[in-house]
Chains A and B, each alone.
Chain A
Amino acid sequence: MSEPSTPILDFKKLAHDLLPEGASFEACLTCGLCSSGCPAAGLENMDPRKFIRMAMLGMNEELSTTSWVWMCTQCRRCQHVCPMNIDISQLVHKARGNWPNELKPSGIVRSCELARSTDSTSAMGLPPDDFVFVVEDVLEEVRELQPRFKTMQAPMDKQGAFFFVNQNSREPMSEPDEMVPLWKIFDLVGADWTYSSKGWAAENFCMFSGDENAWQEVIKQRVDAVNELGCKVWLNTECGHSYYTMWNAVNRFGMDANFSISNLVTYYAQWIREGKLPVNSDWNTMNLKFTVQDPCMIVRKAYGDSIADDMRFVAKALVGEDNFIDMQPNRSANYCCGGGGGFLQAGMTEQRRYYGKRKFDQISATSAQYVLTPCHNCHSQMEDIGHHYGGNYHVVHFWTLICLSLGILGENERTYLGPDLASLEVNPVV
């Protein structure tokens, strides 16, 4: 049996076919704003500008085989700062898809395979029955141990519920207590929601592997699951790429989705504005400083600054206006953390941390003790680079801080809080 090899793509032609007129590679001024603003610049002696120049020079073999395409997180910051609006990430996506599966980073391929192995679409391969069991088990425990929530629900396959809530597999698989704060939030605001035993999972590494058919297949299962339950809104949990992979795919593949696609951050902000989530910052008597990490997948690549502004509204309500410090740059101009694009699962640790140094410096410059982010990959990456480079910060989900502020955060739900907050008791405001 011969070794698999990578077919050679014609990148100049691809750019011509894929990119709109006026934003093709021919329009490149070679100014370098893309590379200057790219945390992956320098890895594999490659950067976005070189990628374009090499395509124009016909260096297709080099571009078809460079492992840099697995270090570019497709965050699209290069396009965002490009005066000619040239999108390099689409070409990187094509290049990834062109690699034979055997040569792709095995972690990404495996996660995609697992997602297709059960009706859950879980990248960790958690089957529907196990998911249902974990949810029931955890719910039972909370009802027993936390009297305030003795009638709390975590509905499963509830026909006609308003929200179809998806779930990142990491929680039911390895930290099930982390599901609870969100259930409490739903309970408080009186949300009509449901999980689904099918198509419930958030992650989608098939998109990262560049496998269009597998990406579409996974999303179709999820779209079908929402349509079957007749839910009005597919509500995305605190996970960046899962929003993008669904939202983008529905348009990209022209799927019949009889529902709207929303992000949890939007609803956090709405519920706080409506008074349904009466959060405040009174608990922060130590004046701990917080910053937020804008996930590329929901901010720059999807909603734009409007959701970033919602995120800041929520953060400030939680920690106090004066205790919030923005990273620089931020919102649509923010840097990818280096955990995106499947980088965390790709096994290239050294390169991933090199990429993450920019994020580490951004966080350090704020001198914040906590980073809030509604994204699992951002969360893991920022924790890792924090340990690696000797940072002094903790990374937390919004749901943790919302429940902390409301005085309803259970003791098993504090994994990510630092010692200063791990044992802080806040009087329940609701």
Chain B
Amino acid sequence: MKVEERKFDTELAVIGTGIAGVAASIFALKKGLTVALSGNTGALAYTTGYLDLFGSLSGQDLAYVDDPWKAVQDLAHYEPNHPLTRVSIDDIRSSFEEFTAFISACGIAYTRPGDKNLEVLSPVGTVKRTLCVPATMKAGTEAYADRSRCLIVDFKGLRGFSGAQIVANIGSDWPGLRHARIEVPGLSQTEIYPEVLARTLEVPQNRESFATAVKEVMGDEQVIGMPAVFGMHRPDEVMSSLEELIGVPLFEIPTMPPSVPGIRFREMVEQVFPQKGINLIPQQKVKSVEFNDDSATLLLADNYGPIRIEAKTVILATGRFISGGLEAHMDTVTETLLDLPVFQPVSRDQWYHQQYMGKTGHAIHRAGLQVDDAFRPLDSEKKVVNTRLFAAGILLAHQDWIRSRSGAGIAIATAYKAVEAAADFLSK
């Protein structure tokens, strides 16, 4: 039996389905480019739903940032090579506006980027700063800002989320906060995953029995928070239906992976992108990229057989170590797909600082690809590797996205510029 290779032509191939790859595809779609997107299930499913731009000053005192725009502007002074210094404030704002507008239109409503960071709850009840939140989490930031009388409801059998823990962590700063635990009607299993509960709540009858159980533990609270379980699909409708049944505003708090906001985001992408004309090859990693005179050839395979993509331009958004964009060997770090030069500490003994939790962070976290202002990877002599190749996201060097709470910011803003540069190249 002959196995046929499927071949696709595209103006832009995006490699990687994390936030950067997804954002790049959205921006390219808006510019009218044909897009092929491929990558493994990706970091998307691990996201909390919060979109951070810049939440904490890394490398200094780890102080919380209230004004992320000023923090990004200040980067030029103390982190001149940081990827966000290559994107103007206006462009970063546009990138967040476009990204959140697209997702909102596709069924997961988001707040627009404001002038200041929002204070939001982490899964364990600490407070962090972020720029945009899903509409299902908005009432939580408002309730905390107003210190409203609030009930945190959690569920018997749902591990990794505890209302008691949240109250213990933030209760001294939020006097009107209380918690209660309910049994979810109809879910008899001893271990409940948020995903299962979210799917259950997509059925109207299940919402009714659920709402009844919540009302039984509710006092005179003005608002109720729960782990993120308000449906996987059309969460805003599920939430408003529950609010109607329960009678007070509700909000979601992100949970540890496997979390609903991440899976929700991924499933939305998988469903909407093909409808919008993006050629999505889901859950598959590109195996090789080869540049020819007038295109790049990408090879990959799915269960059905081999696939070849001929692309005029390529954006590499393959992430770091866990996603497989970078690989750590005994004494060096390499880029896995094209063996691009990786900026890194000169030797392994400099990868980590003595203090694991120290404020300065670790040098290895700042390893990655070096690029020019058009987000084109550079070789060891600082020359552009290939004029058709661009890179975006946390694969880029000179940033520590975890400590600075800037993962989504770097992904979205650099994807915006990389697409702009690719479109420029294509128009020439």
A residues near B (Cβ < 8 Å) are 22, 29, 31-33, 35-37, 41-42, 80-85, 250-251, 255, 257, 259-261, 300-306, 309, 326, 328-333, 358, 361-362, 364-365
Tell me whether A82 and B194 are in contact in the complex, defined as CB-CB below 8 angstroms, given that A304-B303, A328-B202, A358-B199 are known contacts: no
- CB of B206 closer than 8 Å to a CB of A: yes
* Extra 5 A-B pairs, beta carbons < 8 Å, given A36-B258, A81-B45, A330-B271: A32-B193, A83-B40, A83-B41, A328-B199, A332-B282
Tell me whether A83 and B42 are in contact in the complex, defined as CB-CB below 8 angstroms, given that A259-B1, A333-B267 are known contacts: yes
* A158 vs B282: C-alpha distance when bound (angstroms): 41
Q: Is the CB of B203 within 8 A of A32?
A: no
Q: Is the CB of B302 within 8 A of A329?
A: no
Tell which of B205, B285, B323 touches A364, judged by Cβ atoms closer than 8 Å.
B205
Q: How far is the CB of A36 from chain B (nearest CB, A)?
A: 4
Closest CB pairs A-B (n = 4): A328-B233, A36-B193, A36-B258, A365-B202
Tell which of B46, B200, B267 touches A328, judged by Cβ atoms closer than 8 Å.
B267
Tell which of A255, A329, A361 touches B267, judged by Cβ atoms closer than 8 Å.
A329
* A163 vs B203: C-alpha distance when bound (angstroms): 43
Residue of A nearest to B194 (CB): A36
Tell me whether A42 and B206 are in contact in the complex, defined as CB-CB below 8 angstroms, given that A33-B258, A83-B322, A304-B304 are known contacts: no
Q: Is the CB of B1 within 8 A of A260?
A: yes
Q: Is the CB of A364 within 8 A of B45?
A: no
Tell me whether A85 and B190 are in contact in the complex, defined as CB-CB below 8 angstroms, given that A333-B267, A361-B203 are known contacts: no
Q: Specify which chain B residues have a CB less than 8 angstroms from the CB of A304 in the assembled complex.
A: 302-304
Q: How far is the CB of B98 from chain A (nearest CB, A)?
A: 26
* A331 vs B267: C-alpha distance when bound (angstroms): 11
B residues near A (Cβ < 8 Å) are 1-3, 40-43, 45-46, 189-191, 193-196, 199-200, 202-203, 205-206, 232-233, 257-258, 263, 267, 270-271, 274, 282-283, 285, 302-304, 322-324
Q: Is the CB of A33 within 8 A of B257?
A: yes
What are 26 sample pairs from A and B whose C-beta atoms fall under 8 A apart?
Answer: A22-B324, A32-B257, A33-B257, A33-B258, A35-B193, A35-B258, A36-B193, A36-B258, A42-B191, A81-B45, A83-B40, A83-B43, A85-B41, A261-B1, A301-B303, A303-B303, A303-B304, A306-B304, A309-B274, A329-B233, A329-B267, A333-B270, A358-B196, A364-B205, A365-B202, A365-B203
Q: Specify which chain A residues have a CB less than 8 angstroms from the CB of B203 in the assembled complex.
A: 361, 364-365
Q: How far is the CB of B36 from chain A (nearest CB, A)?
A: 14
Q: Specify which chain A residues have a CB less than 8 angstroms from the CB of B206 in the assembled complex.
A: 361
Tell which of B1, B283, B324 touches A250, judged by Cβ atoms closer than 8 Å.
B1
Q: How far is the CB of A371 from chain B (nearest CB, A)?
A: 15
* A328 vs B205: C-alpha distance when bound (angstroms): 17
* A37 vs B233: C-alpha distance when bound (angstroms): 15
Tell me whether A361 and B191 are in contact in the complex, defined as CB-CB below 8 angstroms, given that A305-B274, A333-B267 are known contacts: no
Q: Specify which chain A residues have a CB less than 8 angstroms from the CB of B3 in the assembled complex.
A: 251
Q: How far is the CB of A311 from chain B (nearest CB, A)?
A: 14
Q: Is the CB of B233 within 8 A of A302?
A: no
Q: How far is the CB of A232 from chain B (nearest CB, A)?
A: 12
* A260 vs B305: C-alpha distance when bound (angstroms): 14
Residue of B nearest to A31 (CB): B257
* A362 vs B195: C-alpha distance when bound (angstroms): 13
Residue of B nearest to A22 (CB): B324
Tell which of A257, A332, A358 touches B283, judged by Cβ atoms closer than 8 Å.
A332
Q: Specify which chain A residues have a CB less than 8 angstroms from the CB of B270 in the assembled complex.
A: 331-333
Residue of B nearest to A303 (CB): B304
Tell me whether A37 and B200 are in contact in the complex, defined as CB-CB below 8 angstroms, given that A32-B258, A302-B304 are known contacts: no
Residue of B nearest to A234 (CB): B1
Q: Specify which chain A residues have a CB less than 8 angstroms from the CB of B190 in the assembled complex.
A: 42
Q: Is the CB of B304 within 8 A of A42?
A: no
Q: Specify which chain B residues have a CB less than 8 angstroms from the CB of A251 in the assembled complex.
A: 1, 3
* A250 vs B43: C-alpha distance when bound (angstroms): 35
Q: Specify which chain B residues have a CB less than 8 angstroms from the CB of A309 in the assembled complex.
A: 274
Q: How far is the CB of B99 from chain A (nearest CB, A)?
A: 22
Residue of A nearest to B6 (CB): A306
Q: Specify which chain A residues have a CB less than 8 angstroms from the CB of B282 in the assembled complex.
A: 305, 332
Q: Specify which chain A residues have a CB less than 8 angstroms from the CB of B257 in the assembled complex.
A: 31-33
Residue of B nearest to A364 (CB): B203
Q: Specify which chain A residues have a CB less than 8 angstroms from the CB of B189 in the assembled complex.
A: 42
Q: Is the CB of B232 within 8 A of A85?
A: no
* A63 vs B255: C-alpha distance when bound (angstroms): 30
Q: How far is the CB of A207 from chain B (nearest CB, A)?
A: 16
Q: Specify which chain B residues have a CB less than 8 angstroms from the CB of A36 in the assembled complex.
A: 193-196, 258, 263
* A301 vs B302: C-alpha distance when bound (angstroms): 10
Q: How far is the CB of A78 from chain B (nearest CB, A)?
A: 11
* A364 vs B200: C-alpha distance when bound (angstroms): 10
Q: Specify which chain B residues have a CB less than 8 angstroms from the CB of A82 in the assembled complex.
A: 41
Tell which of B205, B283, B324 touches A80, judged by Cβ atoms closer than 8 Å.
B283
Q: Specify which chain A residues have a CB less than 8 angstroms from the CB of B195 in the assembled complex.
A: 36-37
Tell which of A305, A331, A361 touches B200, judged by Cβ atoms closer than 8 Å.
A361
Tell which of A259, A306, A362 touches B199, judged by Cβ atoms closer than 8 Å.
A362
* A151 vs B285: C-alpha distance when bound (angstroms): 52
Q: How far is the CB of A86 from chain B (nearest CB, A)?
A: 11
Q: Specify which chain A residues have a CB less than 8 angstroms from the CB of B194 in the assembled complex.
A: 36
Q: Specify which chain A residues have a CB less than 8 angstroms from the CB of B46 in the assembled complex.
A: 31, 83
Residue of B nearest to A38 (CB): B193
Residue of A nearest to B206 (CB): A361
* A29 vs B321: C-alpha distance when bound (angstroms): 12
Q: Specify which chain B residues have a CB less than 8 angstroms from the CB of A84 in the assembled complex.
A: 40
* A305 vs B272: C-alpha distance when bound (angstroms): 13
* A42 vs B196: C-alpha distance when bound (angstroms): 12
Tell which of A29, A85, A330, A361 touches B202, judged by Cβ atoms closer than 8 Å.
A361
Q: Specify which chain B residues have a CB less than 8 angstroms from the CB of A257 in the assembled complex.
A: 1
* A332 vs B45: C-alpha distance when bound (angstroms): 16
Tell me whether A83 and B303 are in contact in the complex, defined as CB-CB below 8 angstroms, given that A32-B193, A328-B233 are known contacts: no
Q: Is the CB of B40 within 8 A of A85?
A: yes
Q: How far is the CB of A382 from chain B (nearest CB, A)?
A: 16
Q: How far is the CB of A77 from chain B (nearest CB, A)?
A: 11
Residue of A nearest to B282 (CB): A332
Q: Specify which chain B residues have a CB less than 8 angstroms from the CB of A31 in the assembled complex.
A: 46, 257-258
* A22 vs B321: C-alpha distance when bound (angstroms): 12
Residue of A nearest to B157 (CB): A42
* A309 vs B267: C-alpha distance when bound (angstroms): 16
* A416 vs B121: C-alpha distance when bound (angstroms): 51
Q: Specify which chain B residues have a CB less than 8 angstroms from the CB of A250 in the assembled complex.
A: 1
Q: Specify which chain A residues have a CB less than 8 angstroms from the CB of B42 in the assembled complex.
A: 83
Q: Specify which chain B residues have a CB less than 8 angstroms from the CB of A305 in the assembled complex.
A: 274, 282
Q: Is the CB of B45 within 8 A of A33?
A: yes
* A82 vs B304: C-alpha distance when bound (angstroms): 18
* A326 vs B40: C-alpha distance when bound (angstroms): 24
Q: Specify which chain B residues have a CB less than 8 angstroms from the CB of A358 in the assembled complex.
A: 196, 199
* A332 vs B41: C-alpha distance when bound (angstroms): 12
Q: How far is the CB of B227 from chain A (nearest CB, A)?
A: 13
Residue of B nearest to A361 (CB): B203
Q: How far is the CB of B345 from chain A (nearest CB, A)?
A: 25
